[in-house]
Amino acid sequence: MGVGLLIFGIAEEPSLFELLAGFLLLPIAEMAILAALRPPGSEPFHLYGSLGYAVNFGTAGLLLAVWTTPAMLFYGASILLAVVKGYAGCEILALSNMLRRRDDQLACAVFSPIDALEQPNAS
């Protein structure tokens, strides 16, 4: 899925600004928001259930509607990073968690069922 989003994003022939927005601006904005909400030393948040899904879908829907190409690049790169790092949470938090050394998690309707099956204690 991450590769597909990157391919679709690049197929849109993004401008330099869209590339910078997808690979730098959106990740920096995400980390700044999370740092403001959850400063260093605070407990990690694990936002699951309907509120977690609402936050995730709302964010994704808004980004994809307003800034489609940068959003596809951001989500695609985030998914690939999560795969490489073995991160089992919402993939959009993978970079922030890696750089901030945190374990914040957000419900993800696409990957949460897969993550649950991959748990060692899953039946």
Q: pLDDT tens across 27-57, in order?
A: 999 889 888 888 878 888 888 888 888 888 8
What is the predicted pLDDT for the residue at 11? 94
Q: How many domains does the chain have?
A: 1
Residue 123 in any domain: the answer is no
Q: Which residue has the higher pLDDT, 110 or 74?
A: 74
Give the mean pLDDT of 73-101: 86
Q: What are the structure tokens assigned to 37, written together?
A: 């909400």
- Contact indicator for 89, 106 with CB cutoff of 8 Å: yes
Residue 41 in any domain: the answer is yes
Q: What is the pTM of this model?
A: 0.83
Strand partners, 47: 106
Residue 86 in any domain: the answer is yes
Residue 45 in any domain: the answer is yes
Q: Name residues whose C-beta falls within 8 Å of residue 27's C-beta, 6 or more positions apart in sequence.
A: 74, 78, 95, 96
> What span, in angstroms and rounded, lies between the C-alpha atoms of 29 and 26?
5
Residue 52 in any domain: the answer is yes
Residue 21 in any domain: the answer is yes
Q: Lowest-confidence range among 2-6, 12-16, 90-94?
A: 90-94
> What span, in angstroms and rounded, lies between the C-alpha atoms of 70 and 109?
21
